[in-house]
Amino acid sequence: MTVPGTSLLNQFAAIVGEAYALRDPSSIVPYLTEPREKFVGRTPMVLRPGSVAEVSAIMRLAHDTGTAIVPQGGNTGLVGGQIPSADASQIIVSLTRLNRVRAVDVDSNTMTVEAGLTLAMAQTTADDVDRLFPLSLASEGSCQIGGNLSTNAGGTSVLAYGNARELTLGLEVVLPSGEIWDGLRKLRKDNTGYDLKDVFIGAEGTLGIITAAVLKLFPKPRGISVAFVGVADPPAALALLNVARGKAGTALTAAEIMSRLALETVVAHLPGARDPLAEPHGWYMMLEISSPNSQADAEQIVEAIFETAMERGIVEDGVRSESLEQAAAFWRLRHGLSDVQKFLGGSIKHDVAVPVSAIPELLSRAETAMQAVIPNSRPFPFGHLGDGNIHLNLTQPADMDKKAFLARWDEVNQAVHAIVTELGGTVSAEHGIGTLKRDLLPTVKSPVEMGVMRALKAALDPTGIMNPGKVL
Ligand SMILES: Cc1cc2nc3c(=O)[nH]c(=O)nc-3n(C[C@H](O)[C@H](O)[C@H](O)COP(=O)(O)OP(=O)(O)OC[C@H]3O[C@@H](n4cnc5c(N)ncnc54)[C@H](O)[C@@H]3O)c2cc1C
């Protein structure tokens, strides 16, 4: 693609107004690097439209002039999908100003929100009407609904409520042609032809720009209790998960696991964090119980889980939150894990999922395999045990050069992904494909699947202007 010239940039700027067309390099910088600083792009302009009509006009001009567009939400994506290429040919469209709550329909249990609303604000909007919007990620203060849907985000509540796709009833999308598809339906049942919303959810901005969505609301739990538990190893964690499922049923709303190194690191580097347990343990689990009845009910369920797990010798020690503040403090430890790894130097990441029953085998085999590739490297696994998704990260050996360690990224990935594939798993559970895993896609999808995906892309974006170079 060619770099857009000044006259074309002026036409784009005229659509949103000069104040919302950033050209000055210093104001553009924050849009060019993603959280891990693995991808750094260049762009001649960041457009910040304030209405769907402006997004549509931008896409129409882009379509007519063959200009590549990169949609960007909160810029918290972890696979480089929101970052433009390095040749300065692609214009970023930031959805940040499209952040209105259009409607809340309590009787239908839905809210209709614009793509730029942050996830935290969406949660607050639900809370204000005594409802729950359950999507929850460590990045929720910055990530936006449009980004969440475009990556089909997962997070800590997938076990009970499903991922972003399952939380969405309707969408409004600006197509690469500039046409607006208004699919903002609130229907729980609608079998009228192909489900177009599912095409755009998880498409990582390669098929169109999501501008609004109808999201599902749920009853707000009347009691929440979080247990923080020490266990010897992953088989014990799995046994505890089974006890918790049996005692709590649908009240089990999260089941997270973290290694000792993960807990030690977050306690050492997150201000105000402390180890909830007196003695060190090999592994830790967090179980969240949400009761539709009362706080006492939630606490009783946790006690019943503890009792059975202690009787069976599954847990070594455990505490339950005594207040909402303490529950939040436990969650702070879990949500801090992504960020604190940087204090140990370089980190090679994996976002994999396997059937829940295969998690102990995955952890044991992958740790051995990673350490065989880089001796003395330190596995730093944590994640969503309840839905089978583990962030199987590897921290560099203390005495190794960070650059030399990170240069082995692909080699370590290959060793881990081979085991994941053998166990019937996936190499991207919730972060998506973006640029980071684009070349992996044909190795995990059949030629038939790749063909269908390419046909969809060609049908919706025949000139290839929508986030080129991502996913396919
Ligand atoms: C600390 C931390 C913790 C995280 N934890 C989790 C987790 O638990 N689970 C999880 O799933 N993810 C997690 N993530 C990843 C990230 O937060 C999610 O992928 C999030 O959904 C991205 O939203 P965003 O608004 O930041 O999107 P961006 O990063 O801006 O964009 C992500 C992708 O979506 C596209 N896009 C953005 N907005 C639109 C739109 N309106 N229309 C079309 N395409 C669009 C972009 O082009 C890009 O391909 C975490 C990230 C961080 C930094």
- Give me the pLDDT at residue 465, please: 98
- Separation of 384 CA from ligand 1 center, angstroms? 17
430 lines ligand 1 (CB under 6 A): yes
The mean per-residue pLDDT over the stretch 422-432 comes to 95
b/e sequence 8-17, b meaning 16+ C-beta within 10 Å: bbebbbebbe
- Give me the pLDDT at residue 402, please: 95
67 lines ligand 1 (CB under 6 A): no
Ligand 1 binding pocket mutation candidate from 137, 256, 286, 428 (most atoms within 8 A of CB)? 137
Task: Give the tokens for residue 107.
Answer: 């009787």
Has residue 445 got a pLDDT over 80? Answer: yes
The mean per-residue pLDDT over the stretch 405-414 comes to 95
Q: Determine if residue 317 is left, alpha or beta; phi over 0 gives left, psi from -120 to 50 gives alpha, anything else beta.
A: beta
Mind listing the pLDDT tens digit for each residue in 448-468? 999 999 999 999 999 999 999
324 pLDDT tier (thresholds 50, 70, 90): confident
Kindly report the protein residue whose alpha carbon is nearest to atom 9 of ligand 1.
155
Which burial class, exposed, middle or buried, applies to 357 when counting CB atoms under 10 A from its CB (0-12, 13-18, 19+)? exposed
Has residue 112 got a pLDDT over 80? Answer: yes
Across the chain, mean pLDDT equals: 96
- Separation of 235 CA from ligand 1 center, angstroms? 32
Mind listing the pLDDT tens digit for each residue in 330-364? 999 999 999 999 999 999 999 999 999 999 999 99
153 pLDDT tier (thresholds 50, 70, 90): very high
- Separation of 78 CA from ligand 1 center, angstroms? 7
- Give me the pLDDT at residue 166, please: 98
72 lines ligand 1 (CB under 6 A): yes
Kindly report the protein residue whose alpha carbon is nearest to atom 17 of ligand 1.
76
- Give me the pLDDT at residue 217, please: 98
Q: Which residues does residue 380 pair with via DSSP β-bridges, in sequence order?
A: 393
469 lines ligand 1 (CB under 6 A): no
Ligand 1 atom closest to 208 (CA): 43
428 lines ligand 1 (CB under 6 A): no
- Separation of 150 CA from ligand 1 center, angstroms? 7
- Give me the pLDDT at residue 322, please: 87
63 pLDDT tier (thresholds 50, 70, 90): very high
CA distance 109 to 212: 17
75 lines ligand 1 (CB under 6 A): yes
Task: Give the tokens for residue 87.
Answer: 């040749």
Has residue 144 got a pLDDT over 90? Answer: yes
- Separation of 468 CA from ligand 1 center, angstroms? 17
Has residue 169 got a pLDDT over 80? Answer: yes
The mean per-residue pLDDT over the stretch 130-146 comes to 96
- Give me the pLDDT at residue 38, please: 86
- Separation of 145 CA from ligand 1 center, angstroms? 9
Ligand 1 atom closest to 163 (CA): 11
- Give me the pLDDT at residue 121, please: 98
Torsion angle defined by CA atoms of residues 162, 163, 166 and 170, in that order, rounded to the nearest 10 degrees: 150
Has residue 1 got a pLDDT over 80? Answer: no
213 close to 112: Cβ distance less than 8 angstroms = yes
Has residue 24 got a pLDDT over 80? Answer: yes
- Give me the pLDDT at residue 311, please: 96
Has residue 128 got a pLDDT over 80? Answer: yes
Task: Give the tokens for residue 218.
Answer: 């749920």
Residue 461 CB contacts under 8 Å (≥ 6 apart), including other chains: 176, 206, 207, 208
Mind listing the pLDDT tens digit for each residue in 183-238? 999 999 999 999 999 999 999 999 999 999 999 999 999 999 999 999 999 999 99
| pTM recorded for the entire structure | 0.95
457 lines ligand 1 (CB under 6 A): no
Has residue 117 got a pLDDT over 90? Answer: yes
427 lines ligand 1 (CB under 6 A): no
Ligand 1 atom closest to 154 (CA): 11
Ligand 1 atom closest to 205 (CA): 44
Ligand 1 atom closest to 34 (CA): 29
431 lines ligand 1 (CB under 6 A): yes
148 lines ligand 1 (CB under 6 A): yes
